[in-house]
């Protein structure tokens, strides 16, 4: 089940919300848990058991780690628990990748397992690991109510594509949540904005990117437009999902962390990664980078730490060499910036912004294609080294057709629309204007969904 579907919008979410607010407070987490399992089972019924096993193991290990805190046994239990969690993730996500590369290395064809990836396993595995580490560090108390822990791990608003919610952030909210009308209204507003990002902008940009991928003819300008459309698509797709997840969380009384903060206005790649997929970046910082020593070690170990984090970040996104290259690509730029480039970027704001956009565009070309040859071909075409025309009549037609959406998307990556909405919100007419706009957006999204085809979120595959 996906958020941008009629099933979720009109048959699943309204009854869940209604039931949630009708029952007493002590049963609300049970409703969330049952709803989350139904939500997950809708698309992945056979993997509900896997998530249930993960929940039971994390519940037991959390209690044992707390019980033996300060003793060597606690560390052993933590390592065993983390290894078990990661073993599930590695088996389902990386088995075929490792078998394929082993086959090439030894020159013997080995059969692959062809196992489907459990949706959201990368996200809820990281949530379990952070919970257990925080219990070990005494940053959180072990959860004694398995229903509450299960509700945290399986929480359907952010289960399949984040943001990665820390247990420490919602530990108190699992026991007691505030349900205010203004919070519910804000949650609905944020959900509709996120849905509009996905349905009206990301899906439309996906059509433009698909036209380039399926075309037999290529040109310099259309190669650039394709790169821009994908970079914008993945932003509106993922940030749209995050907005929807945070919005639903607000309705149920949870405060999830912000996951995007206008990353395309950044002036450095370092800043870009402080603004893009914030929950993932902070997770790797707190649970991998800092434990390795962070930047408080010698320069060689510091560079090693950055490389390890970004190698893992690349692999987290997918079991393919293009993701490894993508992660190391960003590692190289982050290292260069930290060594000397950031001082130059601070002095040249316009050049720094161009540098970020160009670097990110190229990164998403690497990210979008598992075939390295296709990636190389597009990069060569973009810079005119493949004797392709500047533009063709067919490509000119596509650019004209999608020009308005591209302009809206570019403006939407800046704080400008939010500033306009803030100015409207302080006027007397805001009481009428805002609900009307949201209702129209919801109606428009529904029309697009009814008329369109199945179009899942890009990050579902991670």
The per-residue pLDDT for range 255-297, each reduced to its tens digit, is 998 999 999 999 999 999 999 999 999 999 999 999 999 888 8
What pLDDT score was predicted for residue 28?
93
- How sure is the predictor about 235, in pLDDT bands with cuts at 50, 70 and 90? very high
Q: Do residues 288 and 383 both lie within one domain?
A: yes
Structure confidence by residue, pLDDT tens digits, 12-51 = 999 999 999 999 988 999 999 999 999 988 877 889 999 9
Averaged pLDDT of the chain: 90
For 239, left (φ over 0), alpha (ψ -120 to 50), or beta? alpha
What pLDDT score was predicted for residue 268?
94
Residue 147 lies in a domain: yes
- How sure is the predictor about 93, in pLDDT bands with cuts at 50, 70 and 90? very high
Residue 328 lies in a domain: yes
**How many CB atoms are closer than 10 A to CB 293?**
13
Q: Where is the domain boundary, 177, 204, 229?
A: 177
Question: Is residue 408 pLDDT above 70, yes or no?
Answer: yes
Q: Where is the domain boundary, 177, 205, 239?
A: 177
What pLDDT score was predicted for residue 398?
87
Question: Is residue 462 pLDDT above 60, yes or no?
Answer: no
The DSSP output letter for 296 is S
Q: Do residues 12 and 123 both lie within one domain?
A: yes
Q: Give phi and psi for 216, each to the nearest 5.
A: -90, -20
Mean pLDDT of 228-257: 94
Q: Do residues 330 and 453 both lie within one domain?
A: yes
Domain enclosing residue 13, as ranges: 6-177
Q: Do residues 193 and 232 both lie within one domain?
A: yes
Residue 1 lies in a domain: no
What pLDDT score was predicted for residue 393?
83
Residues serving a catalytic function are 317
Go through 192-218 and write b for each residue having 16 or more CB atoms within 10 A of its CB, e for each that does not.
bbbbbbbbbbbbbbbbbbebbeeeeeb
Residue 128 lies in a domain: yes
What pLDDT score was predicted for residue 454?
55
162 or 137, higher pLDDT: 137
Residue 346 lies in a domain: yes
**Number of domains forming the structure of the chain:** 2
Q: Do residues 173 and 187 both lie within one domain?
A: no
Q: Do residues 209 and 267 both lie within one domain?
A: yes
Q: Where is the domain boundary, 146, 177, 208?
A: 177
Residue 368 lies in a domain: yes
- How sure is the predictor about 253, in pLDDT bands with cuts at 50, 70 and 90? very high
Tell me, yes or no, if the pTM score tops 0.75: yes
Q: Do residues 239 and 92 both lie within one domain?
A: no
What pLDDT score was predicted for residue 428?
74
- How sure is the predictor about 455, in pLDDT bands with cuts at 50, 70 and 90? low
Q: Using an 8 Å Cβ cutoff, are 197 and 330 in contact?
A: no
Q: Do residues 378 and 431 both lie within one domain?
A: yes
- Quote the CA–CA distance of 161 and 403 in Å, as a whole number: 29
- Quote the CA–CA distance of 164 and 278 in Å, as a whole number: 9
Mean pLDDT of 173-191: 92
What pLDDT score was predicted for residue 461?
55
Structure confidence by residue, pLDDT tens digits, 296-311 = 888 889 999 999 999 9
Mean pLDDT of 103-127: 86
As a whole-number percent, the residues of the chain with pLDDT over 90 amount to 62
Q: Do residues 197 and 173 both lie within one domain?
A: no
Q: Do residues 246 and 365 both lie within one domain?
A: yes
Residue 265 lies in a domain: yes
Q: Do residues 218 and 338 both lie within one domain?
A: yes
Q: Do residues 122 and 233 both lie within one domain?
A: no
- Quote the CA–CA distance of 158 and 245 in Å, as a whole number: 5
- How sure is the predictor about 459, in pLDDT bands with cuts at 50, 70 and 90? low
Residue 447 lies in a domain: yes
Of the candidate ranges 55-59, 101-105, 400-404, the one whose mean pLDDT is the lowest:
101-105
Site of tokens 């707390």: 66
259 closest CA partner among 197, 349, 209: 197
């Amino acid at each position: 089940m996906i958020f941008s579907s009629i099933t979720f919008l009109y048959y699943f979410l309204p009854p869940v919300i209604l039931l949630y607010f009708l029952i007493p407070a002590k049963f609300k987490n049970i409703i969330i848990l049952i709803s989350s399992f139904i939500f997950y089972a809708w698309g992945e019924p056979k993997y509900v058991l896997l998530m249930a096993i993960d929940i039971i193991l994390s519940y037991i290990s959390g209690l044992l780690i707390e019980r033996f805190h300060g003793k060597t046994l606690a560390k052993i239990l933590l390592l065993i628990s983390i290894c078990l969690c990661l073993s599930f993730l590695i088996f389902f996500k990386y088995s075929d990748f490792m078998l394929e590369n082993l086959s090439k290395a030894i020159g013997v064809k080995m059969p692959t397992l062809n196992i489907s990836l459990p949706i959201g396993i990368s996200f809820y595995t990281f949530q379990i690991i952070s919970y257990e580490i925080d219990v070990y560090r005494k940053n959180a108390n072990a959860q004694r109510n398995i229903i509450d822990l299960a509700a945290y791990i399986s929480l359907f608003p952010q289960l399949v594509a984040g943001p990665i919610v820390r247990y420490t952030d919602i530990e108190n909210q699992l026991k007691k949540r505030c349900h205010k009308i203004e919070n519910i209204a804000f949650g609905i507003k944020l959900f509709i904005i996120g849905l509009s990002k996905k349905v009206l902008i990301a899906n439309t940009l996906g059509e433009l990117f698909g036209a380039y991928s399926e075309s037999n003819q290529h040109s310099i300008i259309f190669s650039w437009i394709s790169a821009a459309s994908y970079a914008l698509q993945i932003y509106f797709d993922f940030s749209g999902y995050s907005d929807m997840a945070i919005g639903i969380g607000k309705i149920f009384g949870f405060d999830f962390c912000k996951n995007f903060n206008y990353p395309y206005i950044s002036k450095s790649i370092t800043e870009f990664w402080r603004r893009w997929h914030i929950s993932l970046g902070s997770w790797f910082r707190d649970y991998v980078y800092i434990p390795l020593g962070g930047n408080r070690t010698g320069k060689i170990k510091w560079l090693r730490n950055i490389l390890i984090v970004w190698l893992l970040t690349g692999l987290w996104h997918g079991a393919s060499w293009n993701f490894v290259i993508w992660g190391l690509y960003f590692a190289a730029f982050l290292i260069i910036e930290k060594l000397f480039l950031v001082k130059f970027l601070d002095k040249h704001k316009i050049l720094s912004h161009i540098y970020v956009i160009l670097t990110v565009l190229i990164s998403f070309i690497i990210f979008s294609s598992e075939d390295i040859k296709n990636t190389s071909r597009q990069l060569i075409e973009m810079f005119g080294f493949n004797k392709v025309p500047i533009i063709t009549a067919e490509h000119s037609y596509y650019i004209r057709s999608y020009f308005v959406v591209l302009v809206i998307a570019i403006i939407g990556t800046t704080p400008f629309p939010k500033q306009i909405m803030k100015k409207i919100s302080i006027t007397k007419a805001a009481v009428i204007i805002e609900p009307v706009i949201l209702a129209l957006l919801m109606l428009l999204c529904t029309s697009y969904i009814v008329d369109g085809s199945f179009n899942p979120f890009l990050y579902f595959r991670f």
